[in-house]
């Protein structure tokens, strides 16, 4: 089950389209869907989680808490809407594309993809682009 929570002045435009897209990503990677919770929040909200749970005193666009087991993807994905807006401007992409990139990024982490090494980063970016393209395919 996919749920969306809001700790910021923000709402997804079409929950059903996002849910269908996320389900397609999960199936496309040969995983099963468990409980997945996206929480859209502010910079300050995510900063406090980053500091409390990870010991990092920095702003970030996303934090994932992985509860996946075997081949069932489950977890909490916290996304700073403020960071997404800033990154969209920084990388000269529209907000929706950057949001989809970050949403896919968190989901990919829960399915075992990492971005620590250059090789992992390259694969992660390729996968993000692939998943963003899926969003625009008629379901």
Structure-block tokens of residue 34? 């468990």
Residue 138 confidence (pLDDT): 59
Residue 42 confidence (pLDDT): 97
Between CA 73 and CA 36 the distance in angstroms is: 8
Confidence of residue 26 (pLDDT cuts 50, 70, 90): very high
Cα separations (Å) of 63 from 35, 60, 107, 129, 137?
16, 8, 11, 20, 27
Mean pLDDT of 27-54: 96
Residue 13 confidence (pLDDT): 85
Q: Is the pLDDT of residue 139 over 70?
A: no
Mean pLDDT of 47-59: 94
42 within 8 A of 83, measured Cβ to Cβ: no
Q: Quote the mean pLDDT of the chain.
A: 94
């Amino acid at each position: 089950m996919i749920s969306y929570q809001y700790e910021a002045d923000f709402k997804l435009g079409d929950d059903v389209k996002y849910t269908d897209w996320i389900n397609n990503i999960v199936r496309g990677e040969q995983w099963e869907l468990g409980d997945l919770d996206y929480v859209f929040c502010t910079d300050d909200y995510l900063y406090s989680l980053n500091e409390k749970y990870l010991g990092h005193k920095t702003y970030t666009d996303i934090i994932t808490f992985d509860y996946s087991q075997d081949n069932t993807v489950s977890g909490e994905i916290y996304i700073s809407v403020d960071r997404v807006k800033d990154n969209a401007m920084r990388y000269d992409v529209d907000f929706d594309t950057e949001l989809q990139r970050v949403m896919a990024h968190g989901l990919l982490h829960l399915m075992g993809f990492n971005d620590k090494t250059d090789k992992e980063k390259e694969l992660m970016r390729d996968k993000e682009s692939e998943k963003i393209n899926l969003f625009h395919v008629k379901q």
